[in-house]
Amino acid sequence: MDQNKGTEPRRVGVLLHYYGDAARRFFLAGALLMIVALPIFNDLLPVNAFLSIFTIIFVGFFAGFTNPRQRWVLAMDAVIGIIAFCTFEYYAVDFYVQYAFQNLLFVLNQVLALLFFLGAYYSVKSWRGASVK
């Protein structure tokens, strides 16, 4: 049984630095938070519910598909994490400027930005580890 429950690297086959498990956890946490928040904040979001649901499924799909054997998946995880971070951080700043710190949508976007930043970070570390010979 794997005792690595944190964000420590683990050796998977020839891949010395695999952090995909940590990235997966952050992506899943972000997707679950979006699922919980969508019915509450749907009317305030700048996109329609269909796009939000598709995004949640897309993030969940790639979180589940993350593995050390396919570098393209690690690269896609990094791209998804960076795009999600930029999107949620942009809206966090926008809501902060408009409504200040008390707005729950600001807090939600800031937490999502942090989750996806960490997911992107660990995805990039895994991708780099898979790319270095």
- Looking at the structure of the chain, the number of domains it has is 1
Per-residue pLDDT, averaged over 70-85, amounts to 95
Report yes or no on 52 lying in a domain.
yes
Q: Per the confidence metrics, is the pTM higher than 0.95?
A: no
Residue that wins the pLDDT comparison between 127 and 15: 127
pLDDT tens digit sequence for 3-34: 555 666 666 565 677 898 999 999 999 999 99
Q: What is the pLDDT of residue 1?
A: 45
Percentage of residues of the chain with pLDDT beyond 90: 63
Ramachandran sector of residue 13 (left: φ over 0; alpha: ψ -120 to 50; beta: rest): left
Distance CA 2, CA 5 (A): 8
Percentage of residues of the chain with pLDDT beyond 70: 87
- CA-only gyration radius of the chain, Å: 16
Q: What is the pLDDT of residue 132?
A: 77
Find the domain containing 30 and state its range. 13-80+115-131
Report yes or no on 86 lying in a domain.
no
Report yes or no on 8 lying in a domain.
no
Per-residue pLDDT, averaged over 105-115, amounts to 95
- Find, among 23, 2, 3, 4, the residue nearest to 128 by Cα: 23
